[in-house]
């Protein structure tokens, strides 16, 4: 049975919270720990379903991964050549990151493997990683000529390439770098805009030679990766939901502690500040090579903006909740240059246009974005809205319910567990009126 969330007009949100660990960093911590030699200890790891899929995949390839306590793991690295052939299909569930990163890694491993996932993942584009990996000599097949999973990988010795990526995608960049790790020589990727750089940072921390020259990143094959201690920062992509909720619900004043503020991830902060959002970064510090701060957020009347196109890659996961902020801003907000949103866990442009228009917002759908007409005080609400089984659509529409005259029921919220286990309960602890319901 699908689980639904019911969100109602909320009293002011108050309190201090922490959000679960960063999803991108958590996947990478498991992957690099497995490929290093010696022990890695990871704390505050995201125990969402996506990361649990990555853990299960590495266990399936013979890596010892021990859960010490909640969020705390010990991984016994096997080295770049120590993975064992998995004896079953590796099921990546809903996780595009796990699927694409492992495709890169497994292309250069001397064994056979098959990667698959849920219905959403099996409809997402894989050609963007398969095509450059084939240029390296990879043998990968799949549906539609390798554009769609399941993917069948016959691991090979690869040759290094210099790849010019047509998309700013950290998953593409990382897939190629992972293939390059196990390949003699220098492999490089140049992107049209800088995508999140957690791979570069973490690989350097594990001891790899990573050079950056503008938008080009180069990795030297066969580095000696050595086990590390990693503290995963709070996920800014999860913090985005209580953050926007506090900006929108009158009288709110909350603090979200220990949020990762890597500049390749803070596009939403920049947009909300530009709209007049009162967000303060307190106690800035560094944890495990990543910048972190506490974010104090207070209710603010937002102004509509035109989203600068260069911010898009730095805010790519946050547009569903940004749509909700724009729906309560004064004026018309315009987003363009965000066609990547159409190939996420759902088509996030049409999913948000559908959901918000059902609760009284006037939006115009564009091929690469949307025009959103802000409503000053409250949305109408009073409708059932579809999450399209997308965790971020589900959470975004539930936040919209907190500032609606009538309750909003969000249908099919099970996948919130992929990235933000405990979401509804954490929002309740701030005073939000969000409950699980039939």
Length of the chain: 438
Cβ closest to ligand S3P, residue 90 vs residue 315: 315
- Tell which residue, 205, 179, 175, 207, has the closest CA to residue 191: 175
Stretch binding ligand S3P (CB under 6 A), from 10-18, 54-62, 163-171, 430-438: 163-171
Kindly give, in sequence order, each residue whose CB lies less than 8 Å from that of residue 52, ignoring residues fewer than 6 positions away. none
* Contact set for ligand S3P, span 174-213 (CB under 6 A): 174, 195-196
CA atoms of 150 and 142, how far apart (whole Å): 6
Check residue 418 for interaction with ligand S3P (CB under 6 A).
no
Q: How far is the CB of 138 from ligand S3P (least distance, A)?
A: 19
Q: Which structure tokens are listed for 67? A: 């859960």
CA atoms of 168 and 438, how far apart (whole Å): 40
* Contact set for ligand S3P, span 332-391 (CB under 6 A): 340
Binder of ligand S3P out of 118, 200, 235, 317 (CB under 6 A): 317
Check residue 252 for interaction with ligand S3P (CB under 6 A).
no
CA atoms of 178 and 54, how far apart (whole Å): 15
Check residue 94 for interaction with ligand S3P (CB under 6 A).
no
Check residue 54 for interaction with ligand S3P (CB under 6 A).
no
Cβ closest to ligand S3P, residue 189 vs residue 316: 316
Active-site position among 235, 294, 317, 390: 317
3-state secondary structure of 260: strand
Check residue 395 for interaction with ligand S3P (CB under 6 A).
no
Check residue 171 for interaction with ligand S3P (CB under 6 A).
yes
Kindly give, in sequence order, each residue whose CB lies less than 8 Å from that of residue 370, ignoring residues fewer than 6 positions away. 323, 334, 335, 349, 352, 353, 363, 364
Considering CB under 6 A, how many residues would be counted as binding ligand S3P? Answer: 11
Stretch binding ligand S3P (CB under 6 A), from 6-14, 165-173, 272-280, 422-430: 165-173
Kindly give, in sequence order, each residue whose CB lies less than 8 Å from that of residue 53, ignoring residues fewer than 6 positions away. 91, 92, 93, 95, 98
Cβ closest to ligand S3P, residue 174 vs residue 398: 174
Q: How far is the CB of 149 from ligand S3P (least distance, A)?
A: 15
Cβ closest to ligand S3P, residue 236 vs residue 324: 236
CA quadruple 305, 369, 150, 136: dihedral sign = negative
Cβ closest to ligand S3P, residue 124 vs residue 299: 124
Q: How far is the CB of 5 from ligand S3P (least distance, A)?
A: 21
Q: How far is the CB of 351 from ligand S3P (least distance, A)?
A: 15
Q: How far is the CB of 310 from ligand S3P (least distance, A)?
A: 15
- The one-character DSSP state at 305 is -
* Cis amide leading into 150 (omega within 30): yes
HSE-CB at 87 with a 13 A cutoff on CA atoms is 1
DSSP strand pairing (90-91 vs 112-116): parallel
Binder of ligand S3P out of 10, 24, 43, 415 (CB under 6 A): 24
Check residue 238 for interaction with ligand S3P (CB under 6 A).
no
Cβ closest to ligand S3P, residue 22 vs residue 294: 22
Cβ closest to ligand S3P, residue 338 vs residue 363: 338
CA 354 from centroid of its chain's CA atoms: 22
Give the DSSP H/E element, type plus range, for residue 178.
helix 170-181
Binder of ligand S3P out of 63, 316, 341, 395 (CB under 6 A): 316
Check residue 264 for interaction with ligand S3P (CB under 6 A).
no
- Is 317 one of the catalytic residues? yes
Check residue 97 for interaction with ligand S3P (CB under 6 A).
yes
Cβ closest to ligand S3P, residue 171 vs residue 252: 171
Q: Tokens 């493997």 sit at which residue? A: 113
Q: At what angle do helices 170-181 and 23-35 cross, to 10 degrees?
A: 10
HSE-CB at 149 with a 13 A cutoff on CA atoms is 28
Stretch binding ligand S3P (CB under 6 A), from 8-16, 168-176, 276-284, 396-404: 168-176
Q: Tokens 């539609």 sit at which residue? A: 144
Burial class (CB in 10 A: 0-12, 13-18, 19+), 277: buried
CA atoms of 404 and 400, how far apart (whole Å): 7
- Tell which residue, 388, 393, 401, 390, has the closest CA to residue 361: 401
Check residue 169 for interaction with ligand S3P (CB under 6 A).
yes
Check residue 315 for interaction with ligand S3P (CB under 6 A).
no
Q: Tokens 């993975």 sit at which residue? A: 83
Check residue 235 for interaction with ligand S3P (CB under 6 A).
no
Q: Which residues are catalytic?
A: 317
- Which stretches of the chain bind ligand S3P, using CB under 6 A? 24, 97, 169-171, 174, 195-196, 316-317, 340
């Amino acid at each position: 049975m699908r689980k639904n969330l019911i969100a109602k007009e909320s009293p002011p949100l108050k309190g201090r919270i922490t959000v679960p660990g960063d999803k991108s960093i958590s996947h990478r911590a498991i992957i690099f720990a497995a490929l290093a030699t010696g022990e890695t200890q990871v704390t505050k790891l995201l125990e969402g379903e996506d990361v649990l899929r990555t853990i299960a995949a590495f266990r399936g390839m013979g890596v010892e991964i021990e859960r010490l306590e909640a969020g705390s793991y010990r991984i016994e690295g096997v080295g770049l050549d120590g993975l064992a052939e998995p004896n079953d299909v590796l099921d990546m569930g809903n996780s595009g990151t796990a699927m694409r990163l492992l495709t890169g890694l497994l292309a250069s491993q001397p064994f056979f493997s098959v990667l698959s996932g849920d219905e959403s993942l099996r409809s997402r584009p894989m050609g963007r990683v398969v095509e450059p990996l084939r240029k390296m000599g990879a043998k990968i097949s799949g549906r539609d000529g390798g554009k769609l999973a399941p993917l069948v990988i016959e691991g090979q010795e690869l040759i290094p390439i210099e790849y010019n990526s047509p998309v700013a995608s950290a998953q593409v960049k990382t897939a190629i770098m992972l293939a390059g790790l196990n390949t003699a020589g220098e492999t490089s990727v140049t992107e049209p805009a800088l995508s999140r750089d957690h791979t570069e940072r973490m690989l350097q921390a594990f001891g790899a030679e990573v050079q950056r020259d503008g938008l080009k990143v180069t990795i030297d094959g066969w580095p000696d990766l050595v086990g590390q201690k990693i503290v995963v920062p709070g996920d800014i992509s999860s913090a985005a939901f209580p953050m926007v909720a506090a900006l929108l619900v009158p009288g709110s004043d909350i603090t979200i502690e220990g949020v990762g503020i890597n500049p390749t991830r803070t596009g939403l902060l920049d947009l909300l500040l530009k709209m007049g959002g009162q967000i303060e970064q307190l106690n800035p510090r560094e944890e495990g090579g990543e910048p972190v701060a506490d974010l104090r957020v207070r209710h603010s009347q937002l102004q509509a903006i035109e989203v600068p196109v260069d911010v898009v890659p730095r805010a790519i996961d946050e547009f569903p909740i940004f749509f909700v902020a724009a729906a309560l801003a004064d004026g018309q907000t315009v987003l363009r240059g965000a066609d990547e949103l159409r190939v996420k866990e759902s088509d996030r442009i049409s999913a948000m246009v559908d959901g918000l228009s059902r609760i009284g917002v006037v939006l115009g759908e564009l091929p690469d974005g949307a025009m959103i007409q802000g409503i000053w005080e409250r949305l109408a609400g009073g409708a059932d809205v579809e999450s399209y089984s997308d965790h971020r659509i589900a959470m975004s529409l539930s936040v919209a319910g907190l500032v609606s005259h009538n309750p909003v029921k969000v249908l099919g919220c099970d996948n919130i567990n992929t990235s933000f286990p405990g979401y509804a309960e954490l929002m309740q602890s701030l005073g939000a009126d969000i409950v699980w319901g039939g």
